[in-house]
Structure 1
Amino acid sequence: MNHGPQRLFLGSAGLGALPAWIASLPTMPSRAALIPTAANPLPSAPYVRAAADLLEAEGMAVDRLDLEHAAPVDVQRVLDRVQVVFVAGGYALFLLQHVRRSGFDRLAAEAVRAGSLAYIGFSAGAALAGPDLSPLHDEDDPGAVTSTAGLGLVPFAVLAHRNWGRAARHDRLAADPDRPCPRVSINDDQAITVTDSHWQIQPSPAYRPPTAPPPPSRPR
């Protein structure tokens, strides 16, 4: 991918707008890194497989990069050969712990800011792009961190899954005068697209793979 403005796609759950966003990138990416780490403590995370399927359907080879078991040299090796990184959701502080330990925070943020790496994040992965992950603290989260500072790629914290009965809490967090940064709440069928310092919320419903064209009929 050519260097230029940073480009991010920050979602809640729906992948529907992602193919068009990928197609809008200056150069069509051929390889992506998928970060499943936030989902590691969960018994099941089918959305990680769904993310891989979509990236592959868009013509990309997918490198799975689990930050829980990666050293900085591993992260650098993968990021050097991909044009897109997809950070899946799950436990936000567990993700943040291994983002820092692996050096992903420094290595990925530098590449995204330079415009050489496009960033896709969902749920915890979307929040990671912001300045602070404190609103995503969960008592069940096994992550151990001394600071909840995120990557700081965008100036706001993404609050995902508004439609899960979280609207009142999200609004309260957004209105908190002591909040460390602005907070943006989105439903599962919405996403935030970012180009440089400009961002917008757009519809992103559940992804439905394109249907294959019917086989050509045989001449009779």
Structure 2
Amino acid sequence: MPDWTGYRAALAADFALLRDAGEDPTATVPTCPGWTLDDLRRHVAHVYLHKVAGMDPAGPPETWPPDLSGEATGPLLDRSYAALTADFERLTPETATPTWYEPDQTVGFWIRRMALETAVHRADAELAAGTPVTPVGDALALDGADEVLRIMLAWGSVKYEEFREADLPTIEVRSGGRSWFVRPTTRGVVIDEDGEAATTVEAAPADMLMWLWRRAGDEVLTVTGDPAGVAVLRGLMKDATE
């Protein structure tokens, strides 16, 4: 059973950190080349409003995004978050709504996705501000690793016929007592729950989530087996998360 209360609590906490990180809106975001902290916050506001529009019973607007250039970033971010969380209060996680992930067409998909989206962008904001990055809690971090591997990487590679490789050796991603065996094939990336791997990469849950989303360097990993597998997995994750 998904922890909807936990997702909502994480979303609230990370939103507050993202909103208040740093005093200089022109600070560059090292993990989002070309963006300032102000650009990052406006991006998050647009993401929230896009989800609100998608959950509207009348259906999403024909054109997106709307022109929000006349609205200051702080009020825009607050307004978008208020609208998003109001929808999450109004609707149940089981309520049907369009999503880009065909197997899950429910509000619950967006509750989980927005909690994880906000956690990653909160880390971006802290990196821009030059403050220590607040670790993501183990449960949310492991759930986020599962999401990015199974949905963005594996499902995306089959659905969109992207970043398909030759049949390559399996890479085990290990964290917090869980393992994902990543098997790149010409038909797409397959994620198995067990198996044998040529390379194993291991990290604490928060570090692993940030590495998979390319917010942390290889120094957070412990690698066993063939080190070439690290570059293969890094390349796959770059394609999956861009």
Q: Which has the higher strand share?
A: 1
Which TM-score bucket, shorter chain as reference?
Answer: under 0.3
When the two structures are superposed, what TM-score results if normalisation uses the length of structure 2?
Answer: 0.26
**RCO (CA 8 Å, sep 6+): is it higher in 1 or 2?**
1
Q: Which protein shows a greater Rg?
A: 2
